Amino acid sequence: MTSKKQLKARIRARMAKTGESYTTARAHLVGGAETHSDAGWRFAGGRHPSSAAITAVLVNQGADVGEPLVFLAGGGIGAGYILWEFKHDQSRHVTLGFRNQWQYHDRWMTKTLTRLGVPYEEHHTSGTRAASDRLAAELDAGRPCVILPDRYHLGYWQLPAAMDGHGGGPVVAYRRDENGVHLDDRGQAPIVIPRERLDAARARVGSYRNATHVLGEAKLSDETLAEAAREGLRDCAAHLSAASDSFSLPAWRKWSRLLVDTRNAKSWGKVFADGRGLADALLSVWEGVEPVGMDGGNLRDLFADSLDQAAALLARPELAELAGRFREIHGLWHELAESALPSEVPELARVRELTASIKESVMGGGSANGEEAVAAGRLLWESRAAANERLAAADTADLFAGLSARLAAIHEAETAAIDRLVTLTRD
């Protein structure tokens, strides 16, 4: 028991220091991949909620496919930036979109499953009770479902009431028993949620109320996977070549400029002139960019893995060369995250440690709702408040200028890499 606690502490410490995912941090410390199961359900892990959810279902059907190819089938990476200002608690939050069509769950699911040739049913039952009964019937019939619950209502991410209704990522509901519904959220153990709580979580967000995808049996031949990879590459190239400064690569340039602009109402100098919520915003940048966050990070490393696999499937070694470039770009994002939330600042280091602790509780040994995780959640939000106070009087000019320069470099690097991808998809 002591040894297990010590390992957990070491994993959390590494996650907090490096921003790595649970799986990567654990592998560095003990080596090898964990394989766990629950009543026949095999936990496949994963990085991004959407691609990991589909992969988990396919793996449990016996399909020979990994998350990188599923991610690529959906169009690979995306780009997007929104700075939210919430009046009810004076908080500020940065939302970063790193997946193709990150703002459209249903559209992404549809094209990904279609390209992979996976039959599926999609349901948006309006009534809470009817949706609950449908999910129960699917699980009782042995059909796992990809659902999209609100994370605050799920409870295990230890979010405060101010996050009620902010949404969440897909998870797999794969069985139920007298204790509740068993969920797979990229971890290595089941997270069991009482039925009533899960019903409330699924019904909370109106735009995808009770969204459910039931996947049929897939037949993934090499030819199918190759064509899915080819279509995904074309999709990625077209999507990130678009001119949109909200949902394509120009979003990074727009954000870079807003960090140092002195006139725009949404510039960081104006938004944070009162000093409120800066730590929250910087933490959301760190969580969004790094795999230690809830959504898997900037995903450029996952895309690089998919390019390596596509290179083999399509006999295009040039894609493997491009994969190396995206791993370098992943490193640029890591450097930006480190600049946004430096561990040298004690208050920020504490926030990083507690964030990693909660992520480990979800990804690790089924302790997501344990007393330790609940305590970490309470301390995290207290520490965030303290960090906001600490930064309220800080001089932000150099910080914002540094982040702006890093973003400009990222925009230039990603633009060049996507230009190369456009050329490769035309050949």
At 1 the pLDDT is 45
CA separation for the pair 338, 5 (Å, rounded):
27
Strand positions, DSSP E, 75-138: 77-86, 91-99, 120-124
Q: How far is CA 124 from the centre of its chain?
A: 23
Per-residue pLDDT of the chain (427 residues; tens, 9 = 90+): 447 778 888 988 898 889 888 888 888 888 766 678 999 999 999 999 999 999 999 999 999 999 999 999 999 999 999 999 987 777 899 999 999 999 999 999 999 999 999 999 999 988 999 999 999 999 999 999 999 999 999 999 999 999 999 999 999 999 999 999 999 999 988 999 999 999 999 999 999 999 999 999 998 999 999 999 999 999 999 999 999 998 999 999 999 999 999 899 999 999 999 888 999 999 999 999 999 999 999 999 999 999 999 999 999 999 999 999 999 999 999 999 999 999 998 999 999 999 999 998 898 866 566 888 899 999 999 999 999 988 887 889 999 999 999 999 999 999 999 999 999 999 7
Rg (CA), the chain: 21
CA dihedral 397, 403, 409, 410 (to 10 degrees): -160
Cross-strand partners of 84: 93
Buried b or exposed e, range 402-427, using 16+ CB within 10 angstroms = ebbebbbbbbebbbebbebbbebbee
Q: How far apart are CA 201 and CA 376, in angstroms?
A: 22
- CA–CA separation, 356 vs 314, rounded Å? 38
Structural domains of the chain, count: 1
Which residues share a beta bridge with 91?
A: 86
| 211 SS3 class | strand
**pLDDT value for 367:** 56
- Categorise residue 186: left if φ over 0, alpha if ψ from -120 to 50, beta otherwise: left
> Does residue 131 contact residue 210 with C-beta atoms inside 8 Å?
yes
Interatomic CA distance for residues 248 and 240, integer angstroms: 5
Range list of H helices, 184-342:
195-203, 222-239, 250-260, 268-271, 278-289, 300-314, 317-340
pLDDT at 366: 62
Task: Work out the number of other CB atoms within 10 angstroms of the CB of residue 281.
Answer: 23
Which domain covers residue 321, as residue numbers?
2-426
Strand-strand pairing, 171-177 and 77-86 = unpaired
CB atoms within 10 A of CB 294: 19
Non-local (6+) Cβ contacts of 346 within 8 A are none
Complete DSSP assignment for 395-424: --HHHHHHHHHHHHHHHHHHHHHHHHHHHH
Quote the CA–CA distance of 72 and 49 in Å, as a whole number.
Answer: 14
Count the neighbouring beta carbons within 10 Å of the beta carbon of residue 59: 20
